[in-house]
Amino acid sequence: MTISIIGAGYVGLITAACLARVGHRILCVEKNPSRLAILEKGQSPIYEKGLDEVLSEVFSQGTLRFTSSIEEASEHSDVIFLCVGTPSLPNGDVDLSQVEDAAISIARCSQTTKIIVSKSTVPVGTAHHLSQLMRRHSPHDLEFTLASNPEFLKEGVALEDFMHPDRIVVGCDQNQWRTLFEEIYQSWIKEGFPLLFTDTISAELIKYASNSFLATKISFINMISDIAENAGGRISDIALGMGLDPRIGRLFLQAGLGYGGSCFPKDIKGLMQTARNFGVKTELLEAVEHINADRIKHILHRVQKALGSFLGKKICLWGLSFKEGTNDIRDAASLTLVSHLLEEGAILKVYDPQAMPDFMEIFPPSERLSYAQSAQDALLDADALLIVTAWQEFKDFSPHRIKESLRNPLVIDGRNCLHENQVHQAGLSYIKIGEKSPRSHS
């Protein structure tokens, strides 16, 4: 099939690459000229494991092309995926301007009707709203069919998630389009992945509800973790004991510095907006947000207790991205941590295997903030190591080398990712999430 995709951001690019890989002929629109230049060379402007290889494969097959022109995309196919951003506005509402702009541009230049498939995460009722908007802007008074096909991929394992999904959800109010989606996802259906058809509102809600539920799980375990830190107990054992109940499940019960990234914080806000629009109370979601926001204050309090004060203390930070496997720093815990620690007078040496260039744009190097060449380099002479992101190279790092490099043998593990026995054997003082602190070190 021929398919057009508007937006070569995270979701758009992975969708384009994977649909091209299974043989569809994809034309993908990217408006940003510098990103387009990179994409036209068959390279990826984002870091995602395996993406460069897939892009070069589909480039040589000739199944994926890029353009800056929505007109060309509209001529290329009658099926157009919308994969543009839906960020939060300062008041927490969803900014639909990119989705609306794309829909209006398609409506204005289309000579024939199109099926518009939204992969962007949007508030309930957006499909209906866009179909009316497009009709108003169509010079030929065309009626467009809107479908919602939410994406559930996780950064860092996005290709794997796209190719091997738990489910594919398609919301469309006209049943006659089912066969079209069966054709688009034929390769997946053959592999036995469930294709769930719903109306558009249900599909839009499935996406918000899924992300908000996962965020709720994370805040819940973080609350239990705070109890364990005071009462005693080990959060890893507690999470395991809970998660072995299949009704609860083991995933997304990792206590830590809270959730960040481009989806959970924004989608919780989006669901709250939707709830408010329909007169439904939002206390549960507000609590999830509050608990998450408190994670940083909480860890800073523990570090401060261990160090006495931050003033003039050299702190090594391992990890800046919102999670391992990505260079994405959107809503990352590191942003708030670094800004608080600098305000409190700490001297920071930070290291991340992927996210330093983007982080430097927000926090340029300064007298009290330097960027290390390696994890080892960041440790040298520090008064404490604070682990913010659970990159594999940190998990594999020898605790003995940590001990030798630090000036003061204190490790605060914000992701509980080190091997505890080895850390203790190395003689490090180890502060973990969800466990009482050892005797304070200053």
Contact 330, 268 (CB under 8 A): no
Q: Is 2 exposed, middle or buried (0-12, 13-18, 19+ CB in 10 A)?
A: exposed
Q: Which is nearer to ligand UDX, 33 or 246 (CB)?
A: 246
Question: Rounded to whole angstroms, how far apart are CA atoms 291 and 228?
Answer: 15
Residues with a known catalytic role: 263
Q: Which is nearer to ligand UDX, 110 or 222 (CB)?
A: 222
Q: Is 207 annotated as a binding residue?
A: yes
Pick out residues in 323-342 that bind ligand UDX (CB under 6 A).
Answer: 323
Q: Which of 165, 261, 265, 353 binds ligand UDX (CB under 6 A)?
A: 261
Q: Which is nearer to ligand UDX, 78 or 289 (CB)?
A: 289
* Alpha helices (H) in 251-332, listed in sequence order: 264-277, 283-307
Report residue 193: phi and psi, to 5°: -80, 135
Q: Is 86 annotated as a binding residue?
A: yes
154 binds ligand UDX (CB under 6 A): yes
Q: Is 274 annotated as a binding residue?
A: no
303 binds ligand UDX (CB under 6 A): no
298 binds ligand UDX (CB under 6 A): no
Q: Which is nearer to ligand UDX, 383 or 413 (CB)?
A: 413
Instruction: Write b or e for each residue in 132-168: b if 16 or more Cβ atoms lie within 10 A of its Cβ, otherwise e.
Output: ebbeebbeeeeebbbbbbbbbbebbebbebbbebeeb
322 binds ligand UDX (CB under 6 A): yes
Question: Rounded to whole angstroms, how far apart are CA atoms 441 and 427?
Answer: 13
Q: Is 253 annotated as a binding residue?
A: yes
Question: Rounded to whole angstroms, how far apart are CA atoms 12 and 83?
Answer: 5
C-alpha distance from residue 47 to each of 24, 151, 152, 156, 355 (Å): 24, 19, 18, 8, 9
12 binds ligand UDX (CB under 6 A): no
414 binds ligand UDX (CB under 6 A): no
254 binds ligand UDX (CB under 6 A): yes
Q: Is 41 annotated as a binding residue?
A: no
- The stretch near ligand UDX (CB under 6 A) out of 51-59, 75-83, 146-154, 197-205 is 146-154
163 binds ligand UDX (CB under 6 A): no
Q: Which is nearer to ligand UDX, 73 or 291 (CB)?
A: 291
The enclosing H or E element of 404 equals helix 399-405
225 binds ligand UDX (CB under 6 A): no
Q: How far is the CB of 323 from ligand UDX (least distance, A)?
A: 4
Q: Which of 252, 287, 380, 438 binds ligand UDX (CB under 6 A)?
A: 252
Question: Rounded to whole angstroms, how far apart are CA atoms 435 and 239?
Answer: 13
Contact 404, 376 (CB under 8 A): no
Contact 347, 378 (CB under 8 A): no
Question: Rounded to whole angstroms, how far apart are CA atoms 135 and 132?
Answer: 5
Tokens 């049943």, residue? 175
Q: Which is nearer to ligand UDX, 58 or 153 (CB)?
A: 153
Q: Is 264 annotated as a binding residue?
A: no
- The stretch near ligand UDX (CB under 6 A) out of 86-94, 185-193, 210-218, 396-404 is 210-218
Tally of helices (H runs) and strands (E runs) in the chain? 19, 14
Q: Is 393 left (phi over 0), alpha (psi -120 to 50) or beta?
A: alpha
User: How many residues lie near ligand UDX (CB under 6 A)?
Assistant: 20
Q: Is 255 annotated as a binding residue?
A: yes
- The stretch near ligand UDX (CB under 6 A) out of 18-26, 151-159, 230-238, 353-361 is 151-159
- The stretch near ligand UDX (CB under 6 A) out of 43-51, 86-94, 153-161, 176-184 is 153-161
Contact 394, 290 (CB under 8 A): no
238 binds ligand UDX (CB under 6 A): no
Q: Is 256 annotated as a binding residue?
A: yes
Q: Which parts of this chain interact with ligand UDX (CB under 6 A)?
A: 151-155, 211, 214, 218, 252-254, 256, 258-261, 263-264, 322-323
